[in-house]
Amino acid sequence: MAIGNRIVYRALGAGLTALAALLPLTTHAQQPLTEERCPRMVAQDVPRVWRANLRLAAVNPGEVRLTYIGHSTFEIESAAGVRIATDYNDYVRPRAVPHIATMNRAHSTHYSNNPDPDIAHVLRGWGTDNQPARIDLAYEDVWVRNVPTNIRDWGGGTMLHGNSIFVFESGGVCIAHLGHLHHTLTPAHLQEMGRIDVVLVPVDGSFTLNVEGMVEVLRQINAPLAIPMHVFGEHALQRFLQAMGEIYDAERATSPTLIVSRASLPAKPKIVVLPGR
């Protein structure tokens, strides 16, 4: 079953303020409660000259193609042929050079110090000098922005702004990649994110947020479609799926690639497990 254009309004009540032990130490500026950050409808901006997409099975307008490469890396492809690689690193990469590469700082499997020089935009999701990274990029038919979060450092302390939730919008589909998330979200984080259709969620339960905390994050975001990443074995995946069983249906796909549109989103929240390449 699919739903059409559905707008999800979230109640930012007191229940969202019960955070995990690692509480973010900063608060982001609040956006007006009536503003829907995503989608911004990039396709309705000033017309651009889009490169021809010569690959087979081109993505149709209003669709986004997601391919799980492995670990925390996905290839996201728009109707205009824009390719994005998430958590771009030196170990797990898509076959084609992306136009946009996003990175997070937690471990070397989430960033590269030597990205391919042909990448048009390398977006690093961590801040410097205690200032968060701020990314707002419109590129052809894609809009990319970030919501900074904190991470644990190797000594058990807190590294401010060491991670970003990257939000991608194309064809009216809003995708959030949680990166190496280490804590639950505040109302300010949720307001910055806006409506999310697809959430790419780390499910290892140890290196990132524990299973109970990640279940709370998915309840907070309330996206109709979730795709696991950062799996670290079948046991960890099963533990996560069981914890999510009351609120999400689950299915396993045989292909690492999924075409997503607003019309194809499930009526009941669903987890789709994609095999990595």
- Total number of domains in the chain: 1
Residue 263 lies in a domain: yes
β-pairing, 173-177 vs 158-170, is: antiparallel
Q: Is residue 135 part of a domain?
A: yes
- Domain around 164: 58-273
In a domain, residue 6? The reply is no
Residue 94 lies in a domain: yes
Supply the DSSP string of 103-161, one letter for each residue. E-SSSGGG--SS--TT-SEEEE---BTTB----EEEETTEEEEEEEEEEE-TTSSEEEE
Rounded CA-CA distance 175/168 in Å is 5
Give a yes or no: residue 66 inside a domain: yes
Q: Is there a domain that residue 32 lies in?
A: no
Query: Has this prediction a pTM greater than 0.95?
Result: no
**Is position 22 within any domain?**
no
pLDDT 10s per residue in the chain (277 long)? 433 333 333 333 333 333 333 434 333 333 333 346 676 655 444 334 334 444 446 899 999 999 999 999 999 999 999 999 999 999 999 999 999 999 998 788 888 999 999 999 999 999 888 899 999 999 999 999 999 998 777 677 777 788 899 999 999 999 999 998 888 999 999 999 999 999 999 987 667 788 899 899 999 999 999 999 988 889 889 999 999 998 899 999 999 999 999 999 999 999 999 998 7
CATH number where 114 lies: 3.60.15.10
Q: Would you say residue 11 lies in a domain? A: no
